[in-house]
Amino acid sequence: MTQPHLVIIGSGMAGGRLLNEIIRRQPDRFRISVFGEEPHPNYNRIMLSPLLAGDVTKKEIVLNSHEWYAEHNITLFAGERIVDIDRTQQSLRSHTGTELTYDQLVFATGSRPAKIAASGQQLSNIFDFRTLEDVDAIVNTAKSANHAVVIGGGLLGLEAAYGLAIKGVKTTVIHRSGHLLNRQLDAQAGEMLRLSLQERGIETLLNTEVDSFHGDTAVSSMTLKNGDVLNADLVIIATGITPNTLLAQTAALEVNRGIVVDDQLFTSDEHISALGECIEHRGETFGLVAPIWDQADILANRLVFSTDTDYSTKATPTKLKISGIDLFSAGEVNGQPHDRVVVLQDKDRRAYRKLIIRNETLIGIVLFGDVQDGNWYYELLEQQIKIEHLLPTLLFGQSYCSSLQDTDNSTHHSDQENQPDTALTGASL
């Protein structure tokens, strides 16, 4: 029997993960072709920060090598960009002239760096932080840089700033919000993070944006919207991502902020599916790995076994890849007026715990400093376990709650005897 032809547009992490899931289920189910704009096989994009810092090599972050593609009889068109899709004929064409027909087509086109409204971005030494080529250029420029500025105080921006700082480059982060990681942390944890970065040589400017860049051919300074002027000879823009939908729009698929998909990850064309950072599902777009892995699992099951499982989003925990800075967050970070919010804070130890509770279930977690109970809290949140019986001591973590429960089951001690040590004082319940 002739194998149906599966074509995947995009050889990034989403497309690569889908390939792995298909091969794991039934390696001979499809004849597979993959198109990728970058001239490499797929690699671990979340390891670009450690690559910049010099903690890993390029070879170490490759996920599927050229040999892997050959071994599994998958044709990889590396460095080829699809420019035309004929949905009626179920065919496509690349910018080099390669033409193929497909039985099933998958968009895994990812995202592109979000742009900022600042003039002068044509100057050299202003970089995105998205590809291997970006990292190569940043590393080369950093060798002679005096002052680097990273625009964006999200996960990617902070990890890039750390990679530059440990190379000895004076580094400043500019962030338009009032605190760092404002989508993942509340203001208190954000301030602790700012202080921890400052100890590592990274300065932070909050509540401001860049208005314009200046220089002859290369950037040498910038003017902020508050009027301040900052010297810089290396700039990284890391202000988020935008789903890459241009090809889908050209093919007349339904597109909003991302390529619109249903619960089975079908697009508006029954022969075309999509996953990853390029999609929009029930009004939500995606930028973290965990939901993309879930999407790859569901889509592989449908493509291989014709199993229709609904995709649904869930809270994804956040961690920061900076040595010596431990944080963990999931769910809502600020909550609503009628939520119960419990907080433990030790400013001297720079330790912070905040739990948000609604209808006797945990809906938000913010941990800074001591994150050892993060996975336990996340399990309570994800499974929506009723936690009323844990509320008096929930802040003190799994071990303390378990030991207290064991004690209650065997014998009764005074409240004083069951209190945690004095290092945990300062909790407000």
How far is 230 from 149, CA to CA, in rounded Å? 9
Contact 397, 373 (CB under 8 A): yes
pLDDT of residue 389: 86
Select from 138, 145, 141, 210 the least CA-distant residue to 173: 210
pLDDT, one tens digit for every residue, the chain (429 residues): 689 999 999 999 999 999 999 999 999 999 999 999 999 999 999 999 999 999 999 999 999 999 999 999 999 999 999 999 999 999 999 999 999 999 999 999 999 999 999 999 999 999 999 999 999 999 999 999 999 999 999 999 999 999 999 999 999 999 999 999 999 999 999 999 999 999 999 999 999 999 999 999 999 999 999 999 999 999 999 999 999 999 999 999 999 999 999 999 999 999 999 999 999 999 999 999 999 999 999 999 999 999 989 999 988 999 999 999 999 999 999 989 999 999 999 988 999 999 999 999 999 999 999 999 999 999 999 999 999 888 878 999 998 787 766 655 554 444 444 444 333 323 333
pTM value? 0.90
**DSSP structure class, residue 278:** G
The residue assigned the tokens 């399990």 is 379
How would you list the strands of the sheet with 147-151, edge to edge? 126-127, 234-237, 147-151, 170-175, 202-206
Name beta bridge partners: 230.
222
Please say whether the beta carbons of 18 and 105 come within 8 A. no
Place of tokens 């497309």: 15
Residues with Cβ within 8 Å of 327's Cβ and at least 6 positions away in sequence, in order, are: 181, 184, 185, 189, 193, 318, 319, 320, 367, 368, 369, 371
Angle formed at CA 280 by CA 265 and CA 306, multiple of 5 degrees: 0
Q: Residue 407: its pLDDT value, please?
A: 58
Contacts of 153 (CB under 8 A, 6+ apart): 173, 174, 175, 177, 180, 181, 182, 204, 206
Q: Is 113 helix (H, G, I), strand (E, B) or coil?
A: strand
The per-residue pLDDT for 401 is: 80
pLDDT of res. 417? 44
Strand partners, 242: 112
Output the DSSP codes for 12-77: SHHHHHHHHHHHHH-TTS-EEEEEESSSS--B-GGGHHHHHHTSS-HHHHBSS-HHHHHHTTEEEE
C-alpha angle with apex 290: 289 to 291, nearest 5 degrees? 100
Q: Cα separation of 399 and 413, whole Å?
A: 17
**Distance set, CA 201 to CA 51, 163, 164, 274, 384 (Å):** 19, 11, 10, 42, 40
Residues 6+ apart with CB under 8 A from 200: 162, 165, 166, 322, 324
Q: Tell me the one-letter amino acid at 6.
A: L
Contact yes or no for 106/66 (Cβ under 8 A) = no
Q: In the chain, count of helices (H) and strands (E)?
A: 11, 24
Q: What are the structural domains of the chain?
A: 5-112+241-305 (3.50.50.60), 126-237 (3.50.50.60), 327-424 (3.30.390)
Give the SS3 label for residue 371.
coil
Other C-beta atoms closer than 10 Å to the C-beta of 19 total 27
* Structure-token match 């619960």, residue found: 263
The candidate with the shortest Cα–Cα distance to 145, out of 233, 79, 68, is 233
Please calculate the CA angle 355-360-363 and round it to the nearest 5 degrees. Answer: 40
DSSP 334: S
